[in-house]
A = this chain, B = another copy of it.
Amino acid sequence: MTVNRLREEVSGLHNELVRYGLVAWTAGNVSGRVPGEDLFVIKPSGISYDDLNPDAIVVCDLDGKVVEGDLDPSSDTAAHAYVYREMPEVGGVVHTHSTYATAWAARAEAIPCVLTAMADEFGGEIPVGPFALIGNDDIGRGIVATLSGHRSPAVLMQNHGVFTIGKDAKAAVKAAVMCEDVARTVHLARQAGDLTPIAAEDIDRLYDRYQNVYGQR
């Protein structure tokens, strides 16, 4: 995939964040790794989703330095860059402050796996990462430390919001959409009484099947 085709795809994927109500104003961003190169593309900082287009998407190296583009990149660029440096299997990263997921993050509480759809996509609970300030590698470090060796492609960064990863940008967006969906459903379920757990071995079976069988061959 060329850089320009990737810019187009990443620009368009921001529409999914808007469609599913995961972002307010300009607070959320998608990035994608350029296949075979030490580069990724990301949303510019503070640009509204209505004004986004492929040309506005910024190309950065894995230290987060701009190598192409007229605009300043997302203020979350350092976190995305850190993930691409440390997790070579990751091809896409998404960040949102989606409402229900961020509510769990404001309590620093992991979302328990009580839905088959959650077992399918996340393979267990959605974990909490540390509180970290913006401005250096602390957020990236927290994401990588939490997701390494975890099946979940989503982490709730304490008092902050959600970061998701995927094999490409679209997969990371799907994880962000599903993260908010299950965060909301489990929040509502627990409001009204005790949750019914799913046995660990059933979570394993659901996860294995979904990762291998779902969708088109």
Question: A residues bordering B, Cβ < 8 Å?
Answer: 20, 24-25, 27, 44-47, 71-72, 75, 97, 99-100, 102-104, 106-109, 114-117, 131, 133-135, 158-161, 174, 177-178, 181, 184-196, 198, 202, 205-206, 209, 213-217
Contact = CB atoms under 8 A, between A and B. Distances in A.
A120 to B, nearest CB: 9
A115 B102 CA distance: 8
Contacts of A108: 196
Query: Which of A116, A178, A209, A215 counts the most chain B CB atoms within 10 A?
Result: A116
B75 A196 contact: no
A83 to B, nearest CB: 18
B190 A192 contact: yes
- Provide the main secondary structure of the chain A interface: loop
Contacts of A161: 116-117
A206 to B, nearest CB: 7
Given A46-B215, A181-B24, A195-B106, A116 B188 contact: no
7 contacts: A24-B181, A97-B117, A102-B189, A103-B186, A133-B202, A159-B198, A187-B192
Contact of A184 (B71, B99, B114): B99
A136 B202 CA distance: 14
Given A106-B186, A159-B114, A214 B75 contact: yes
A46 B185 contact: no
A103 B133 contact: no
A46 B39 CA distance: 29
A25 B100 contact: no
A205 to B, nearest CB: 6
